Structure 1
């Protein structure tokens, strides 16, 4: 039997924490529960992550990093040169690929006290809204509402995906078309 490496343990702890945070919430999950699920001690969890908040941040970082990479790529390429459909398609792929960490991020989107997750999510939402055609609060009310509705729908697929996997190319394409139609309505 292969011995568990430090990286293996960290990965298992992150995966257990992600599942427990999604199931019971941040406040409803203890480090003891995470440790028990992995078969380590609470001090072992703290050894690898330092605190419960640091563990949470390590769990959501992959979701943040994936979305931030898409947004940064579009910003770098020039938002005016990238059409809304291309942006939506990239966001759909990232959200579906990183559904679990992004689900946790969306639960903290309005919570500004835990690890800065709310502030980071709000910043990404503002940047994404600009890319989708809503540059300022003073923008056309209809455009703002359509962008907000599109972002809300995109976040909604995170939880809806439990019942509807959206694994086929046809389903993903229908989702992209629906979100783009919402933007242009």
Structure 2
């Protein structure tokens, strides 16, 4: 017999697959339930709404990002970037899905949280009063690392990580 938590995990896995294939906004609960071979009411047993399902997939990334910046002190920038790369690599499928449909962050009221952790990460990299130029460099460095995770996900992890971290350090002029 399948446990409810197993079904919940299967629903999330199929939803992630469909989100990657056709985007979050183009994926219906019916498509998810059909692919799983369950009824839509069975899906609703595990998730109150489509937004609830989408949030359950994005939430682990959000939680990890917030824990990452909350538990850090300014210091070794290379180590911070390496650890950040590890985190975003683990969540690359969710990042791809969000990049395909960034409006989903607005719909789920997660955009402010995303900007807040990004600001805290920038402060960890640059200190509390960075110049505008330094902030722009940090945006390019962090955004570029995220892009590498998405665009080069089929390459070996260590190869992508080493190049992305070095590029970020170069952009930050460190």
Q: 1:112-152: CA deviations, max 9, x gaps?
A: 5311122221222111111121645xx41220111010121
> Pick from 118, 125, 132: which aligns with 1:125?
118
**Any stretches of 5+ residues in structure 1 without a counterpart?**
none
- 1:50 is paired with a residue whose SS is coil
Q: 1:57-87: CA deviations, max 9, x gaps?
A: 000112122222221121xxx32xx221111
Q: Spell out the pairing of 1:7-156 with structure 2 (5 A cutoff).
A: 7-74=5-72, 78-79=73-74, 82-107=75-100, 109=102, 113-133=106-126, 135=128, 139-156=130-147
- 2:126 is paired with a residue whose SS is coil
**Any stretches of 5+ residues in structure 2 without a counterpart?**
none
Q: Would the aligned equivalents of 1:109 and 1:122 in 2 still touch at CA under 8 Å? A: no
TM-score relative to the length of structure 2: 0.88
How many residues align? The count is: 174
TM-score relative to the length of structure 1: 0.84
Q: Would the aligned equivalents of 2:148 and 2:164 in 1 still touch at CA under 8 Å? A: no
Structure with higher RCO (Cα < 8 A, 6+ apart): 2
Deviates more, 1:103-112 or 1:118-127: 103-112
Q: Does residue 159 in structure 1 map to residue 150 in structure 2?
A: yes
Change in CA separation of 1:60 and 1:110 when aligned onto 2, cut-off 3 Å: same
Deviation of 1:166 after TM superposition, in Å, equals 3.3
RMSD of the alignment, in Å? 2.0
Q: Would the aligned equivalents of 2:25 and 2:101 in 1 still touch at CA under 8 Å? A: no
